[in-house]
Amino acid sequence: MTQDKSVALYPDLSLTLTEAGTGTPCLVLHGGGGPATVAGLSSHLARTAHTITPVHPGWDGTHRPGWLTGIDDLALAYLHHLQGRGLRDVVVVGSSIGGWIAAEMAVRDTGGTIAGLVLIDPVGVHVEAEPIRDFFALDALGVAEYAWHDSARFYRDPEVLPAGQVALQRDNVATLRALAGDPYMHDPKLLRRLRSVDVPALLLWGESDRIVTPAYGAVYAEAFGTGRLQIIPEAGHLPQLEQPEATFAAIDGYLREMTADRALTAPVRG
């Protein structure tokens, strides 16, 4: 059963959440394109897990308080939400900036809340030789060309979209700029901090991503003590949309490995 709810986290911040399924808790974090970009992923995971899918404050018309000015603020807010509910062994799955948020959560998690990470073409670190494409300098056609493997299939001309949808997209981009525009799409300290993360991290990368390249992803994965990079062929920045079957299969395999590892290390009772 799917349930939409609003949860008051702080006096001036409520989280808009969709929850579904039972089992391992999975926090699913969308990227700059909004919650629609992970809706199919959340539905898939809800078959075997308890999915919690928030709308980041400021996206899709939700309220963002004035103090929430960075990705670190979102990371702490989500950690506090999970900890306030007493959730443990949470797998955090994040796409693009959602992956960045997940990584920032992991380096701040001192209470063992997070058990694993799945980062899908995340931004968030600086790699000198592989700069992040300047998303804000691209028009809609440019975004499609750099973000998708099959840009002709996924490009949507803003001129033919409903005015309300265009306005929503414009507001989402403004929120993205406020949270991740300076420094652009990264935390200068994050790359060196990732070595302290001791939970298994799977980084999935679209082979054709030209917003953040697979070479960028290789450096990102290497920064984790337990990171692993897996390339998704014929996909760009959002492989969960271009190649959902391959993406879901990779995540399912990761979750099975985690379950098996926990069973092997669980204390014997008797």
154 confidence band (pLDDT: 50, 70, 90): confident
> Which structure tokens are listed for 34?
């909004």
User: Residues 72-105: pLDDT tens digits?
Assistant: 999 999 999 999 999 999 999 999 999 999 999 9
Q: How many CB atoms lie within 10 A of CB 37?
A: 19
User: Residues 45-78: pLDDT tens digits?
Assistant: 999 999 999 999 999 999 999 999 999 999 999 9
The CB-side HSE value for 239 (13 A sphere, CA atoms) comes to 30
**% of the chain at pLDDT higher than 90:** 88
Number of H helices, E strands in the chain: 10, 8
CA distances from 5 to 19, 28, 53, 81, 264 (A): 8, 15, 10, 13, 36
DSSP 162: -
The CATH class, in words, for 3-262 is alpha beta
User: Residues 227-250: pLDDT tens digits?
Assistant: 999 999 999 999 999 999 999 999
Distance linking the first and last C-alpha atoms of the chain: 37
User: What are φ and ψ of residue 107, in 5° steps?
Assistant: -75, -15
Q: How far apart are CA 69 and CA 176, in angstroms?
A: 10
Spell out a b/e string for 163-198, using b for 16 or more CB atoms within 10 Å of the CB, else e.
eeeeebbeebeebbeebbeeeebbbeebbebbeebe
So where are the chain's domains?
3-262
